[in-house]
Homo-oligomer: A and B are copies of this chain.
């Protein structure tokens, strides 16, 4: 058996002989004294690690979606922000974030131990390493949602700070309230895989960022009418949505952090809600705009996925379809409302997909949960707790995001120069272009 502290002069490959030997000696399903079985604790490590890898590839999905839905001149910058979110976010989450989220509880509001995983006992380490890995890709997800809402006009240097504050402070604190032993979790707040903990937090900060930044040049006419700024690479965006969907099979079922028999239902609910979200947005946009809109349909898939994230383990398949359908319709309405009524320019609809549909998914627990849901005879108690949590996290995430953006705006400046924005951030911020050799239409 390979040991974490085996002398380095023992090549791991020597272990293979032993493993093969075991395979020889162990006729499958025979219950002899000398046959070894996989322990449940190692099975949990295995499943959680695989699930975490699936969540990690969602970084690629986000990058493709955000990139595809914005303009070619900013494509490299979007990729960079997605790399930065993950790179800086993981290091910060290792040093601080994990401790604030999962450390010893202080008054229900914040964790206070385990900086850089310090103080974990030797025996706890294998699980803690695995669980940290799983949680780190969740933290990266929250941070990366924000880059979409702030796309095409944010100074890269300032964005680095924003990203680090999200992964190191804003995300872990509300995460502690719900998953770390804090006050919301203690009230019975239901958010199995993070509609609120991850998605709404990201979505509301994105909304704050988009608001403080102001709209992209040319987004609104002089009389305040919103103009569509179409994305430059729809196949890339579509690929990104499929990759995100794929990763969600780690995100939701993996949130058991245990190899048990609950994961099948969770995966099925996740699929059904995503499919229903796609159909909901497609049909609703078809009726509303006269044609089945491509980017709305793709956002509908994501809306369904975000929506089912909270209730995926606590509802049955039928309601999952309803939750997804509603999310699909809701995302179309929310995108229009934020774009045309609030006049906040969120280029990829991050606040609608993750903020609004995250809130909807969280609230839906209060309606459809087999234990405690309003429609299952549970009364309004759970629904009340869900609404309270959604409201509290909105105030926390939007509020701290709004303050952060304004402080950084004053200190370093938040927005790229007009010239940079017109030429594209790729040239201005990074001195390069994303599509060398291709003839692009001039911008403006």
Closest residue of B by beta carbon distance from A381:
B9
Interface pick from A212-220, A237-245, A344-352: A237-245
A293 at the interface (CB under 8 A from B): yes
Q: Which of A259-306 contact B (CB under 8 A)?
A: 259-265, 267-268, 271-272, 274-276, 278-279, 282, 289-295, 297-298, 301
Distance from A387 Cβ to chain B, minimum over Cβ atoms (Å) = 14
Which residues in B have their C-beta under 8 angstroms from that of A342? none
CB-CB under 8 A from A13, the residues of chain B are 178-181, 185
- Is A123 within 8 A of B5, CB to CB? no
Contacting residues, chain B, for A233 (C-beta < 8 A): 235, 434-435
Cα–Cα distance between A24 and B121 once the two chains are bound (Å): 9
Kindly state whether residue A222 has any CB partner on chain B within 8 Å.
no
Interface residues in A33-57 (C-beta closer than 8 Å to B): 35-47, 49-50, 52-54, 56-57
Which residues, 398 to 444 on A, are CB-close (under 8 Å) to B? 426, 429-441, 443
- Decide: B60 and A239 in contact? CB cutoff 8 A: yes
The residue that A19 contacts in the complex, of B235, B257, B295, B440, with Cβ under 8 A, is B257
- Give the residues in chain B near A7, CB-CB below 8 Å: 188, 371-372
A294-320 interface bits toward B, Cβ cutoff 8 Å, 1 = contact, 0 = none: 110110010000000000011001100
- The interface bits of chain A over 98-139 (1 if a CB of B lies within 8 angstroms of the residue's CB, else 0) are 000000000000000000110001011111111111001000
- Residue pair A23, B44 in contact (C-beta under 8 Å): yes
Most chain B Cβ neighbours within 10 Å, of A22, A87, A265: A87
Which residue of B5, B262, B279, B318 contacts A116 across the interface (Cβ within 8 Å)?
A: B318
Q: Which of B19, B24, B49, B239 contacts A258 (CB 8 A)?
A: B19
| Chain B hits for A221, CB < 8 A | none
Residue of B nearest to A38 (CB): B43
Judged by a CB distance under 8 angstroms, whether A246 is at the interface is yes
A227 interface residue (CB < 8 Å to B) = no
Q: Indicate if A253 sits at the interface (CB-CB under 8 A).
A: yes
- Cβ–Cβ contact A91 & B275, under 8 A: yes
Are A432 and B234 in contact, CB atoms less than 8 angstroms apart? yes
- Pairwise interchain contact A230-B80, C-beta atoms closer than 8 A: no
For A289, list chain B residues within 8 Å (CB).
431
Chain A interface category by residue count: 35 or more
Q: A76-B234, A441-B439 are in contact. Are A272 and B130 (CB under 8 A)?
A: no
Tell yes or no: A71 within 8 A of B by CB.
Answer: yes
Interchain nearest-CB distance for A103 vs B (Å): 13
Question: Does more than half of chain A's interface fall in helix, strand or loop, or is it mixed?
Answer: helix
A226: interface (CB < 8 Å): no
Would A60 and B156 count as touching, CB distance under 8 A?
no
Q: Is A380 an interface residue (CB 8 A)?
A: no
CB of A215, distance to nearest CB on chain B (Å): 18
Partner of A41, one of B19, B87, B295: B19
Report which of B73, B180, B275, B382 forms a contact with A86, defined as CB distance below 8 A: B275
* Bound-state Cα–Cα, A430 to B294, Å: 7
Q: Is the CB of B121 within 8 A of A60?
A: no
Taking a contact as CB atoms under 8 Å apart, the answer to whether B267 and A38 are in contact is no
A73 to B54, CA, bound (A): 32
Known: A60-B246, A371-B7. Is A124-B40 also a contact (CB below 8 A)? Answer: no
Contact among B15, B79, B117, B178 for A11, CB-based, below 8 A: B178
The distance in angstroms between the C-alpha atoms of A7 and B179, with both chains bound, is 15
A372 to chain B, nearest CB (A): 5
A392 on the interface (CB 8 Å rule)? no
Known: A86-B275, A235-B67. A41 touches B246 (CB 8 A): no
Q: Are A260 and B2 in contact (CB under 8 A)?
A: yes
Distance in angstroms between the alpha carbons of A251 and B76 in the assembled complex = 28
Residue from B45, B71, B181, B271 within 8 A of A261 (CB atoms): B45
- 25 cross-chain CB contacts under 8 A: A2-B313, A4-B313, A6-B314, A8-B369, A8-B371, A13-B178, A19-B41, A29-B39, A35-B39, A36-B39, A38-B38, A42-B43, A43-B46, A46-B259, A49-B253, A56-B249, A60-B243, A67-B235, A76-B294, A78-B235, A82-B242, A87-B279, A127-B261, A127-B264, A234-B434
- Apart from A75-B234, A83-B282, list 7 A-B contacts with CB within 8 A: A2-B260, A11-B189, A12-B256, A72-B436, A82-B242, A83-B301, A437-B440
